């Protein structure tokens, strides 16, 4: 079983690369951003609660996203493995994920971190904001807030996996296909 944590700042390409990974490796995609947006669209109480945070560029509370992921893992034990996209985003989430996966004896195989500079993140997110219905991509102040939250709350997660010798950095500034080749090299090595 292969469990990949796809990591990086907002707009680094986690969603983009996840789609390619699913196609190639037949893994189950768990994107907390996508799940929360679907809940919001459905108008569920969970979606409404999450929207209060995500529209402002803030992280949704740990307890809420941890419960979401726990439920998905519990109900999908038969899969080849998972791609965790946008989760964990705090050390508390990373440690909760370790506990969940260790209980099933299927630990995280590796964290693949997409490294992209801040100027490029702004360009990508504002460009997506021109055509998407995501309010968090339209306002430069909200994008700045998301990057600042990433720097303060999410970057420590990289240290969490480095300490376990599971951190694999990839240059995310290249073209989508070149980035995917680099990610695939890591995945192939992890499969061995
Ligand atoms: P997410 O949905 O995870 O969104 P993201 O970080 O903005 O996007 P991603 O990195 O996937 O970018 P993408 O591939 O689309 O989170 C949204 C919000 O949900 C968070 O702010 C938070 O509030 C909440 N949330 C989610 N998970 C949470 C958690 N675990 N805990 C608490 N809160 C949570 O790429 C962006 C753009 O760049 C696209 O337009 C793409 O086409 C382009 N692009 C990608 N790769 C490129 C490349 N190589 N070259 C050029 N352009 C590229």
Residue carrying the six token digits 């904001």: 129
Could you tell me if the CB of 182 is within 6 A of ligand 1? no
pLDDT over 90 percentage in the chain? 91
Residues 85-139 have pLDDT tens digits of 999 999 999 999 999 998 877 899 999 999 999 999 999 999 999 999 899 999 9
DSSP the chain: -EEEEEE-STTSSHHHHHHHHHHHH--EEEEHHHHHHHHHHHT-HHHHHHHHHHTTTPPPPHHHHHHHHHHHHHT-TTSSEEEEES---SHHHHHHHHHHHHHTT----EEEEEE--HHHHHHHHHHHHHHS--GGGT-HHHHHHHHHHIIIIIHHHHHHHHTTT-EEEEETTS-HHHHHHHHHHHHHHHH-
Q: What is the pLDDT of residues 48-98, one digit of tens each?
A: 999 999 999 999 999 999 999 999 999 998 899 999 999 999 999 999 999
Is residue 96 a contact partner of residue 43, using CB atoms and an 8 Å limit?
Answer: no
State the Cα–Cα distance between residues 70 and 163, nearest whole angstrom: 24
Q: What is the mean pLDDT of the chain?
A: 95
Q: Is 144 a catalytic residue?
A: no
Task: Point out the ligand 1 atom lying closest to the alpha carbon of residue 86.
Answer: 3
Please confirm, yes or no, whether 37 is among the known catalytic residues.
no
Of all protein residues, whose CA lies closest to atom 7 belonging to ligand 1?
A: 10
- Residue 89 CA, closest ligand 1 atom number: 30
Q: Could you say which of 20, 40, 72, 128 is catalytic?
A: 128
CA separation for the pair 67, 180 (Å, rounded): 30
Model confidence at 30: pLDDT above 90: yes
Distance CA 28, CA 83 (A): 6
Spot the catalytic one: 20, 72, 134, 138: 134
Q: Tell me the pTM.
A: 0.93
């Amino acid at each position: 079983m292969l469990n990949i944590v796809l990591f990086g700042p907002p707009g680094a390409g986690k969603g983009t690369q996840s789609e390619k990974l699913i196609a190639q490796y037949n893994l189950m995609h768990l994107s907390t951003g996508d799940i929360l947006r679907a809940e919001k669209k459905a108008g569920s109480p969970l979606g409404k609660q999450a929207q209060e945070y995500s529209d402002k560029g803030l992280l949704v509370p740990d307890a809420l996203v941890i419960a979401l992921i726990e439920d998905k893992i519990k109900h999908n034990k038969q899969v080849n493995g998972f791609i965790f996209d946008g989760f964990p985003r705090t050390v508390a989430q990373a440690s909760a994920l370790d506990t969940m996966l260790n209980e099933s004896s299927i630990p995280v195989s590796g964290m693949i971190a997409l490294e992209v500079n801040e100027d490029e993140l702004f360009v990508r997110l504002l460009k997506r904001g021109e055509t998407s219905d995501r309010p968090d991509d339209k306002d430069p102040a909200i994008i700045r807030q998301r990057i600042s939250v990433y720097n303060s709350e999410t970057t420590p997660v990289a240290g969490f996996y480095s300490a376990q010798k599971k951190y694999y950095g990839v240059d995310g500034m290249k073209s989508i296909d070149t980035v995917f080749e680099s990610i695939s090299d890591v995945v192939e090595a992890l499969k061995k």
